[in-house]
Amino acid sequence: MKNLMDLSGRVALVTGAGRGIGREIARVLASAGADIIVAEYNLETGKDAVEEIKGMGRKSYLFEVNVADSASVKALAEQVYQQLEAVDILVNNAGVSGNMLAEETPDEEWKRVMGINLDGVFWCCREFGSRMLERGKGSIVNIASMSGHIVNDPQPQTPYNVSKAAVIMLTKSLGVEWAKKGVRVNSVSPGYIATDLVKGVLDLNPVWKERWTSMTPVGHLGETTDVAHAVWYLASDAAKFATGTDLLVDGGYTSW
């Protein structure tokens, strides 16, 4: 039987692949056979990721980008296509959060979160999606969040929640618009994932830790590999009938 999840010969671009969930996505897609473009704001972690992927026997390339800046994303696409013939898989992973009461949120903070989490996803979908459309094939996976479905507790994070809800609708809209043109667009919505950063935050906030864990039916946080494997499925031909959909990977959180 043909292995539909084999990514040999494919090129995947992952934004924010320097650390956390993006780094794991890069690793898992590389394990499945893909060459990896690391598109990062942080060149130090980006370089480290590229070295790791090369160590796995795949090709890997580092490009600098600020996804919030459409000119930077345009320049990224131009540079990528100068060096490589095609990008088969785009994973829009780069994102930021912020905890602040809504009534105290300044313009800059609202714009920062929307700029990276929503505008950034759209700029990348537009620049790389248009080239995928010309080619008649491609798979885009956006990293949304369960926060696009529910309101988290106890931390206030209205801009984040709104940005992720918008990513889910952006995914549906593009999924439908591009469905007959060979480009699939899906999203993955993680619940709480124990990245190094999240572990550090929870060590300082035992109340959050207890709340997050007790509100997750499986009783613990997820691992970065849980998200990366969902991305792998959606990116691959195994998901050829899936487009415009959002895959929740949240330990049951949103089902309660």
Of 92, 113, 125, 104, nearest to 21 (Cα)? 92
Regarding 29 and contact with ligand NAD (CB under 6 A), the answer is: no
Q: Which residues pair with 14 in a beta bridge?
A: 38, 91
Question: Distance between CA atoms of 1 and 3, rounded to whole angstroms?
Answer: 6
Told to judge if 160 belongs to the known catalytic residues of this protein, a careful annotator would answer yes
Q: How far is the CB of 221 from ligand NAD (least distance, A)?
A: 7
State the binding string over 62-81 for ligand NAD (x if CB under 6 A, else -). Answer: ---xxxx-------------
Question: Distance between CA atoms of 227 and 19, rounded to whole angstroms?
Answer: 14
Q: What six digits make up the tokens of 117?
A: 């989490």
Q: How far is the CB of 172 from ligand NAD (least distance, A)?
A: 18
Question: Distance between CA atoms of 26 and 15, rounded to whole angstroms?
Answer: 9
State the binding string over 43-62 for ligand NAD (x if CB under 6 A, else -). Answer: --x-----------------
Strand-strand pairing, 246-249 and 183-190: parallel
Regarding 93 and contact with ligand NAD (CB under 6 A), the answer is: yes
State the binding string over 219-238 for ligand NAD (x if CB under 6 A, else -). Answer: --------------------
State the binding string over 105-144 for ligand NAD (x if CB under 6 A, else -). Answer: -----------x--------------------------x-
- Candidate list 160, 192, 233, 253, residue with the active-site label: 160
Closest CB to ligand NAD among residues 8, 42: 42
Q: How far is the CB of 119 from ligand NAD (least distance, A)?
A: 10
Regarding 193 and contact with ligand NAD (CB under 6 A), the answer is: yes
Closest CB to ligand NAD among residues 114, 133: 114
Question: Distance between CA atoms of 233 and 229, rounded to whole angstroms?
Answer: 6
CB atoms near residue 206 (< 10 Å): 9
Question: Distance between CA atoms of 244 and 246, rounded to whole angstroms?
Answer: 7
Regarding 22 and contact with ligand NAD (CB under 6 A), the answer is: yes
Own/partner contacts of 103-106, CB < 8 Å, gap of 24 or more, are 105/158, 105/159
Contact, 38 vs 63, CB < 8 A? yes
The end-to-end CA distance of the chain, in Å, is 38
Regarding 251 and contact with ligand NAD (CB under 6 A), the answer is: no
Catalytic residue annotation: 160
Residues that bind ligand NAD (CB under 6 A): 15-16, 18-22, 40-42, 45, 65-68, 93-97, 116, 143, 145, 190, 192-193, 195, 197-198
